[in-house]
């Protein structure tokens, strides 16, 4: 190896060359790209000074992205795609009939455009490509890599879709970073808050809502808990205005074009209400024969009450998960937090005025840029570490249709966890590893992520095999599962790369359901566990009687079979206590038989072995 050594006290040491890392906020409504220089982090603007890039793409004999595409949103509805982020990592089955309008008629989820079907991944890749091009043109430099932010509640499938979009755009993804965590970095909370201080990050964007609870612990910025709603954002506030307009004007059977025009009008009204206490909806175009509609902040607050309440329920859950009742600071993130109705509600809920000194549209991109700068090698080692958490528990299906949680929700990332399992039946030579996500106790109440098979297990009696299942989740929240049979070394693994993700309210609904049904779920789990134990005992006893029934007298065998029959009857009752009681009775009744079988096994093993050989072994 060749080392370059400087003379002592030499003053001609070249400074370390800075590398370019980009932070990208891939938003539902708007997207941004930022970078960090020696002067600090800043959003990169285009030649006209515009900093936001509307997350809109038009496909019509070419690709148009951003503001120019947004201008085509009304005149060229079919070929213009808005809010593609809400469709990332999802399937057609996840969508409502209204959301299916404008999608191509195919099994895959894709938008119908003049240039053919375009998937959400393809749409997002065009936005990412445009952002990267803006940075390269402005800085006249090629980036080393990018940090892309995602909602904290994006599941594995949605994160994978985001990575795929970046790869399609030719970008080197250094890390996917949760949006609320990025905001905390932008505010420099590691330098401005005291040790053990708790911070809430309230992030209401165009299409998603996240709430994160963070604490500074020994120089580590740790996410204690996350919550939110992956289908709640500024778009929904637009929709309540649209619904109100439809009701006020008595509109029916809207076309897709009319729906789009009303949405554009509603968004403008929402933004004006952030500056004025009352505005008027001017009826224009095909709606010009209707009267103008005056709308006040109070009216808008009333229309939005249900949406605000949904965010507060998520805050309740996150605080409960974190085990805290009070926070030192509240950070507002996302353009939708500009709405006075949101800021007032947040201040009232947390009992303190929220921090909003950094542009809420830009704060996430700035935090991502700071992280990108560190990850490309420009950091000095003094930066606070970010410890994100996994939003929903991960586990496996076990015998009886139960889920065994391997990684509980809110575990700190990255992490790896292993647990040993065994076979349920004699002679079993393979098993299916069924990976699930959720908080409930039964498989049917959780989300299936993937399945794979482990074959080549040596045939043994039930319970003898040793199968080590390992879950690894990286810093981006992406999952790899492996299973290894310890005796033969047979192994199978799978990186979970599903093609679609959670439906609109599924994540929030799963958490609510786990709380609401906790007692019922535990009772159901106890019943199934009792049944599994009983069925296992009956199966084992039947095999033992076939193999060594001669060790019992007719009367003893009849007594055992009578006890077994009682257990079969108990299994029909769905009474956990009864099943366990009768199982214990059968277990006690079979102890003498088990001892005789053990004696026979020992005598058989020692048959023909000399005493001297046993002494030599000792």
> Which residues are known catalytic residues?
25, 85, 179, 203
What is residue 374's DSSP assignment? I
What the block records as the tokens of 55 is 């997350």
Q: What is the dihedral of CA 343, 349, 355, 360, to 10 degrees?
A: -40
H/E/C letters for each residue in 302-364? HHHHHHHHHHHHHHHHHHHHHCCCCCCEEEEECHHHHCHHHHHHHHHHHCCCCECCCCCCCHH
Contact 91, 113 (CB under 8 A): no
Residues contacting 215, CB < 8 A, separation 6+ = 196, 197, 198, 199, 222, 224, 322, 324
Look-up: residue for tokens 């043994």? Answer: 460
CA–CA distances in Å: residue 135 to residues 18, 47, 252, 405: 16, 11, 45, 43
Contact 438, 403 (CB under 8 A): yes
Give the SS3 label for residue 202.
Answer: strand
Contact 204, 334 (CB under 8 A): yes
Helix or strand holding residue 528 (H, E): helix 518-548
**101-132 burial: b if 16+ Cβ within 10 Å, else e:** ebbeeeeebbbbbeeebbbbbbbbbbbbbbbb
Instruction: Give the Cα separation of 3 and 115 in Å (integer).
Output: 55
Instruction: With CA atoms as reference, report the closest residue to 308 among 211, 178, 422, 181.
Output: 211
DSSP H helices in 217-296: 234-249, 256-273
What the block records as the tokens of 169 is 């755009």
Instruction: Give the Cα separation of 594 and 614 in Å (integer).
Output: 25
Instruction: With CA atoms as reference, report the closest residue to 438 among 497, 407, 393.
Output: 393
Instruction: Give the Cα separation of 490 and 455 in Å (integer).
Output: 8
What the block records as the tokens of 410 is 């809110």
């Amino acid at each position: 190896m060749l080392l370059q050594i400087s003379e002592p006290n030499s003053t001609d040491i070249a400074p370390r060359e800075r590398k370019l890392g980009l932070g990208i906020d891939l938003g539902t409504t708007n997207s941004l790209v930022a970078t960090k220089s020696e002067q600090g982090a800043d959003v990169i603007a285009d030649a006209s000074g515009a900093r936001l890039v509307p997350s809109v793409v038009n496909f019509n004999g070419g690709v148009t992205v951003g503001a120019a595409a947004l201008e085509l949103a009304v005149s060229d509805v079919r070929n213009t795609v808005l809010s593609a982020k809400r469709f990332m990592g999802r399937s057609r089955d996840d969508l409502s009939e209204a959301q299916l309008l404008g999608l191509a008629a195919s099994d895959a989820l894709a938008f119908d455009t003049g240039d053919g079907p375009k998937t959400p991944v393809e749409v997002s890749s065009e936005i990412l490509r445009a952002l990267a091009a803006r940075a390269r043109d402005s800085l006249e430099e090629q980036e080393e890599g990018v940090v892309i932010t995602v909602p904290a509640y994006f599941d594995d499938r949605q994160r994978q879709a985001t990575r795929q979009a970046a790869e399609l755009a030719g970008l080197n993804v250094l890390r996917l970073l949760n949006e609320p965590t990025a905001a905390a970095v932008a505010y420099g909370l590691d330098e401005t808050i005291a040790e053990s201080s708790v911070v809430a990050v309230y992030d209401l964007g165009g299409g998603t809502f996240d709430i994160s609870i963070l604490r500074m612990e020994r120089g580590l910025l740790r996410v204690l808990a996350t919550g939110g709603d992956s289908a709640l954002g500024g778009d929904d506030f637009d929709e309540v205005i649209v619904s109100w307009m439809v009701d006020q004007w008595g509109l029916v059977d809207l076309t897709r074009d009319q729906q789009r025009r009303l949405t554009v009008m509603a968004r403008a009204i929402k933004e004006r209400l952030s500056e004025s206490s009352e505005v008027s909806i001017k009826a224009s175009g095909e709606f010009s024969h209707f009267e103008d509609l005056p709308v006040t902040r109070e009216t808008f607050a009333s229309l939005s009450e249900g949406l605000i309440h949904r965010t507060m329920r998520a805050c309740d859950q996150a605080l409960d998960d974190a085990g805290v009742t009070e926070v030192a600071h509240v950070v507002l993130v996302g353009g939708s937090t500009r709405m006075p109705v949101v800021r007032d509600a947040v201040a009232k809920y947390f009992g303190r005025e929220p921090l909003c000194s950094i542009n809420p549209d830009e704060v996430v991109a700035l935090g991502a840029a700071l992280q990108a700068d560190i990850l490309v090698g420009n950091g000095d080692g003094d930066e606070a570490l970010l410890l994100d958490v996994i939003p929903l528990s991960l586990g496996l299906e076990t015998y009886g249709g139960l889920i065994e949680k391997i990684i509980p929700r809110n575990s700190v990332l990255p992490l790896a966890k292993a647990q040993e399992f065994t076979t349920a039946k004699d002679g079993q030579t393979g098993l299916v590893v069924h990976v699930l996500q959720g908080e409930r106790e039964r498989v049917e109440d959780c989300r299936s992520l993937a399945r794979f098979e482990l074959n080549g297990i040596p045939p043994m009696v039930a319970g003898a095999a040793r199968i080590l299942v390992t879950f690894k989740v990286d810093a981006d929240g992406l999952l790899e599962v492996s299973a290894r049979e310890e005796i033969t070394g047979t192994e199978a693994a799978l990186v979970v790369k599903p093609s679609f993700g959670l439906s609109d309210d599924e994540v929030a609904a799963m958490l609510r359901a786990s709380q609401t049904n906790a007692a019922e779920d535990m009772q159901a789990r106890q019943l199934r566990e009792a049944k599994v134990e009983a069925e296992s005992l009956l199966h084992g006893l039947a095999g033992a009687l076939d193999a060594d029934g001669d060790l019992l007298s007719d009367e003893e065998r009849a007594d055992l079979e009578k006890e077994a029959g009682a257990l079969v009857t108990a299994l029909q009752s769905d009474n956990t206590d009864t099943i366990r009681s009768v199982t214990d009775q059968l277990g006690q009744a079979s102890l003498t038989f088990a001892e005789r079988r053990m004696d026979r096994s020992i005598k058989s093993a020692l048959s023909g072995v000399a005493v001297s050989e046993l002494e030599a072994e000792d």
